[in-house]
């Protein structure tokens, strides 16, 4: 657990972002030590001096050569809380950093309330994941679950179920018999632990097998 007003280090190359974060931090914590750094060398210098604190970093714009570069820093300073603050991060990057302790993620287009929550959690030594990132991780996990549990044919049937096709329409779509489609449908429900088309559709949407636009069409 950190102090209520730890040292904040802003590692971001955008002037407007640094000014905005400084304003947020001073307004939330009233009294706080805020440092701005422009490159990895300066960041390491500050971390060597304070030993812990919160680093708010735009990974995509800062002086880092890749995720391995960041992970080396993360392991070198294990008591530091890291808050990734960017406009866009890849799903692979988010999956990797979410497996690490003391690394939170918030996006620059999140609401002011969500950014405020991220700063409060970081100051308390807690990890914060914004709702877009949490949903991305949940979707990826459920997609992996589907791919591990269902056969390729069953996944295709599940997609058709989520698009609202009847059993007869699915049979025509797949050039198959109604009996075969019904058997696949029963197996899908059993494997996913769902009881009806509505629950199966929600599962497919959460897993990212169909887009919301496809669902409503």
**CATH code, domain carrying 206:** 1.10.10.10
Residues 182 and 99 in one domain: no
Residues 110 and 165 in one domain: no
216 pLDDT tier (thresholds 50, 70, 90): very low
Residues 192 and 99 in one domain: no
Residues 118 and 39 in one domain: yes
Does residue 105 sit within a domain? yes
How many domains does the chain divide into? 2
- Token pair in block for residue 122: 């970081």
Residue 215 pLDDT exceeds 70? no
Question: Residues 163-173: what's their mean pLDDT?
Answer: 92
Residue ending a domain, choose from 133, 166, 185: 133
Residues 87 and 159 in one domain: no
Does residue 18 sit within a domain? yes
Give me the pLDDT at residue 213, please: 45
Cβ neighbours of 137 (radius 10 Å): 16
CB contact at 8 A, 10 and 34: yes
| Domain span at 172 | 150-216
Does residue 1 sit within a domain? no
Residues 121 and 199 in one domain: no
Give me the pLDDT at residue 182, please: 94
For the chain, give the number of residues. 217
Q: Measured between alpha carbons, how far is 103 from 113 in angstroms, rounded to an integer?
A: 19
Residues 194 and 116 in one domain: no
Does residue 138 sit within a domain? no
Residues 102 and 179 in one domain: no
Does residue 141 sit within a domain? no
Give me the pLDDT at residue 211, please: 64
Range with lowest mean pLDDT among 62-66, 107-111, 148-152, 209-213: 209-213
Give me the pLDDT at residue 183, please: 94
Share the mean pLDDT of the chain. Answer: 86
Share of the chain above pLDDT 70, in %: 93
Residues 84 and 191 in one domain: no
Backbone angles phi, psi at 11, to 5 degrees: -110, 85
**CATH code, domain carrying 126:** 3.40.50.2300
Residues 13 and 120 in one domain: yes
Question: Residues 2-31: what's their mean pLDDT?
Answer: 85
The reported pTM is 0.67
Give me the pLDDT at residue 101, please: 83
Does residue 34 sit within a domain? yes
Does residue 70 sit within a domain? yes
Those residues whose C-beta lies under 8 Å from the C-beta of residue 40, and which sit 6 or more positions away, are: 62, 63, 64, 69, 73
Give me the pLDDT at residue 79, please: 92
67 pLDDT tier (thresholds 50, 70, 90): confident
Q: Measured between alpha carbons, how far is 149 from 151 in angstroms, rounded to an integer?
A: 7
Does residue 71 sit within a domain? yes
């Amino acid at each position: 657990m950190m102090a209520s007003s730890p040292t904040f280090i802003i590692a971001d190359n955008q002037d407007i972002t640094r000014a905005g974060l400084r304003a947020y931090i001073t307004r939330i914590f009233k009294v706080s030590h805020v440092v701005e750094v422009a490159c990895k060398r300066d960041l390491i210098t500050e971390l060597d001096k304070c030993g812990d604190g919160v680093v708010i970093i735009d990974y995509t714009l800062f002086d880092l050569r890749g995720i391995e570069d960041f992970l080396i820093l993360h392991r070198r300073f294990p008591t530091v809380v890291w808050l990734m603050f960017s406009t866009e991060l890849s799903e692979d990057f988010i999956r990797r950093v979410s497996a690490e302790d003391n690394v939170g993620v918030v996006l620059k287009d999140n609401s002011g309330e969500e950014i405020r929550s991220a700063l409060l959690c970081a100051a308390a030594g807690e990890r914060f994941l914004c709702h877009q990132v949490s949903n991305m991780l949940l979707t990826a996990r459920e997609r992996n679950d589907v791919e591990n549990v269902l056969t390729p044919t069953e996944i295709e049937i599940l997609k058709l179920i989520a698009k609202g096709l009847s059993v007869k329409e699915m049979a025509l779509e797949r050039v198959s018999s109604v009996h075969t489609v019904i058997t696949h449908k029963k197996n899908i429900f059993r494997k996913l632990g769902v009881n009806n088309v509505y629950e199966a559709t929600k599962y497919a949407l959460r897993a990212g097998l169909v887009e919301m636009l496809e669902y409503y069409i």
